[in-house]
Chains A and B, each alone.
Chain A
Amino acid sequence: MQNILVVDDEPDVRDSVKYVLDRAGYSVRTVESAMDAFAELARHPTDLVITDIIMPQINGVEAIESIRKAFPSVRIIAISGGGNFGVAEYHPTAITTTAYLASAEKAGAHLVLTKPFESVELIRSVEQVLGVGHA
């Protein structure tokens, strides 16, 4: 069974993603911040991290960069709903979803997904990313 770690500051998002992926047969754990994610990654072997981008303290892009460095074998999916709320600083040049997701891709995310998404889309994306890893 493949291990997935979901990182999102929104409990509803965490829980619903976990629910769908649990049912799809994955072993899913959730954390609410990038800091917790690092601790969790160090403790358990993980195949895939699904992380939000706009989060307090450490944002998703930084988190992805760090994970890629510390855990090169871990696959990453970035998810974002866009908007400019929730970030400490205002980045006028990086306010678009595409811009966030593009920077996530640049930081090393294997796939980006725009919120909100359907169960099917989520599962297909996870399969795609993990499949690439196993190919």
Chain B
Amino acid sequence: MARLRATFWIYVTAWVVMVHLVLLPALYFGMGYVIRESHEDLFIEHARTFSRVLADEFEVGAAMDSQKRIEDLLDFAITHGGARYAELYDRGRSVRSLYGSSDIKEARSTDLRFGEGGDGIYFVVRPIEHAYHRAELRLGFDEQPIQERIQLAFTRMLWLLAGYLAVAIAIAIILSYRLSRPIQRLQAVSRAISSGDYTRALNVNTGIRELHELAADLEAMRHELVGVNVRLQAKIKEKEISEVRREDLQKQLRHRQRLETVGTLASGIAHEINNVLVPIILFTDSALQDLPRSSAPRANLERVLAAARRAKDIVKKILTFSRELGEAKLALIDLREVVAESLHLFSVLAPPTIEIRTEIDESIPLVRADATLASHLLMNLFTNAYQAMEGAKGVLTIGLRYQEGDDDPGIARPGVEFWVRDTGRGMDSATVERIFEPFFTTRSVGQGAGLGLSVVHGIVESFGASITVESKIAVGTTFRIFFPAVARAEVIGDVAAPVV
């Protein structure tokens, strides 16, 4: 059976009404009984007292001897005693007051209870001791006024109780409403909390201690939840960051490992090809010396030799990538000079559709690098940039700035940052991932071997510098090379060396 659940105020009001429906009739009838009894008792008391007093009047003096006196006393009973019937019965003779009600034919014997006669008259018969004989005073009192009074009292009581019930219900409604309001607020807030909204504060203003304490407890719980939530979110964020960092490091590691693998393979291949090139070059060379200038195969052999020399160059590039070019002759150099030189060279080669901008800081510390390789590196990057913008207008930005270090060694070290930004085609992430691999190219066949950026990578590594790429399709690409700062003592030592 489903249980009926009413709202708080209806519940309380219903209870109040139910209790009163039981209590009020009981009260009504109980009080009615008391009122009726007391009225009746008073009436009977009055009737009997009056009868006794009047009987005493008959007994004292010579009242019984005077007919006039008898009539006067009987009339007095009607006019001032509330009686409607008054008779003196003496030895078969009856005197009745003429003021009495003519409806009553004769008196009854004494009524013991109110309303016993059923005719609305209460009879009292009182003996009168007179000289030698006994007479009887017979009085009939009208019950009607008392009945009316009782009725009126009942009516009044009914109104009173009805008013009381109305007030009680009103109080119940007001009280329960005032009680339920803070409960509803608590409910609203706890609902908000359970749906994940921890921001609503619980400030219930109530004089009820239990509710006040409940609100305080809930508020404390909410604070705890907010705290837990904040801590959890911080933890999740921390975890996300470390996850991202880990992935990033893993990616770098994978990238590095792949480059190393490719490098090892490339240097192996280079060795083999170099060995193969020795007989090709030497024999062809010798054969050319034997042939007369005009001989037909001479041209072919010259092409063989040229091809072999080109192969030699390619191998040299592969070796550069795999750090085989030889240890770079590292010295402290001013990158601004290298940039200026390369830029000058490049501005001759670059098509006029490309605008070159520079963002070069005034003061750049020296970095450890090989000037020749560095300019080779820059030319490769410039060429790459302008090829990315080929056939369209574009902006090539070259930047050089000193980067202050951070106290946290993991975040940023001091050093010099060099960047080349183009407004070219851009690359997708898969291309960016492989961009430094030798022979990886996005250009079509015959436009280049795809060694440029692998050479760049090799040179950067040989400087102990690092290179990163950011690229966005149709927006452009930025290559950043970071040269770690050289310790001051080292700078002084190196600069001082040539002087000594």
Contacts and interface: CB of A to CB of B under 8 A. Distances in A.
Interface of A: 10, 12-13, 15-17, 19-20, 23, 54, 81-86, 95-99, 114-120, 122
Contacts, number: 95
A84 B271 contact: yes
Nearest to B273: A81
A119 B286 contact: yes
A114 B267 CA distance: 14
A96 to B, nearest CB: 5
B282 A83 contact: no
Contacts of B278: 10, 12-13, 16-17, 81, 115-117
A12 B279 contact: yes
Given A19-B286, A84-B264, A97-B319, 6 more contacts: A10-B275, A12-B275, A15-B279, A16-B283, A85-B271, A116-B280
A83 B286 contact: no
Nearest to A24: B286
A83 B327 contact: no
B281 A116 contact: yes
B270 interface: yes
A16 B279 contact: yes
B271 A118 contact: no
B275 A84 contact: no
Contact of B326 (A17, A98, A118, A120): A98
Given A84-B267, A98-B327, A99-B327, A116 B286 contact: no
A49 to B, nearest CB: 17
A111 to B, nearest CB: 16
Interface in B249-280: 264, 267-280
B355 interface: no
Contact of A119 (B264, B268, B285, B324): B285
B312 interface: yes
Contacts of B325: 96, 98
B301 interface: no
A82 B324 contact: yes
Contact of B282 (A20, A81, A84, A95): A20
Nearest to A22: B286
Contacts of A83: 267-272, 274, 324
B481 interface: no
B24 interface: no
Looking at B264, B271, B281, the one whose CB has the most chain A CB atoms below 10 A away is: B271
A1 B327 CA distance: 39
Contacts of B312: 116
Given A19-B283, A85-B268, A118-B285, A12 B276 contact: yes
Nearest 6 A/B pairs, CB to CB: A83-B271, A81-B274, A98-B326, A116-B277, A16-B279, A16-B282
A82 B327 contact: no
Contact of B324 (A17, A85, A97, A118): A97
B271 A54 contact: yes
Contacts of B282: 16-17, 19-20, 118-119, 122
Contacts of B270: 81-83
Contact of A95 (B267, B272, B279, B283): B267
Given A12-B279, A23-B286, A96 B268 contact: no
Contact of A13 (B273, B279, B285, B308): B279
Contact of B281 (A15, A82, A114, A117): A117
A85 B279 contact: no
**Residue from the set B264, B270, B279 with the largest chain A CB neighbour count within 10 Å:** B279
A85 B322 CA distance: 14
Given A16-B279, A19-B283, A117-B281, A84 B268 contact: yes
B457 interface: no
A54 B289 CA distance: 31
B324 A116 contact: no
10 contacts: A12-B276, A13-B278, A13-B279, A23-B286, A81-B277, A84-B271, A95-B323, A98-B325, A119-B285, A119-B286
B277 A85 contact: no
Interface string B125-160: 000000000000000000000000000000000000
A20 B286 contact: yes
Contacts of B279: 12-13, 15-16
Max chain B CB contacts within 10 Å: which of A17, A23, A117, A122? Answer: A117
A122 B276 CA distance: 16
Nearest to B277: A116
A81 B324 CA distance: 10
Nearest to A97: B324
Nearest to B462: A96
A82 B271 contact: yes
A21 B170 CA distance: 127
A118 to B, nearest CB: 6
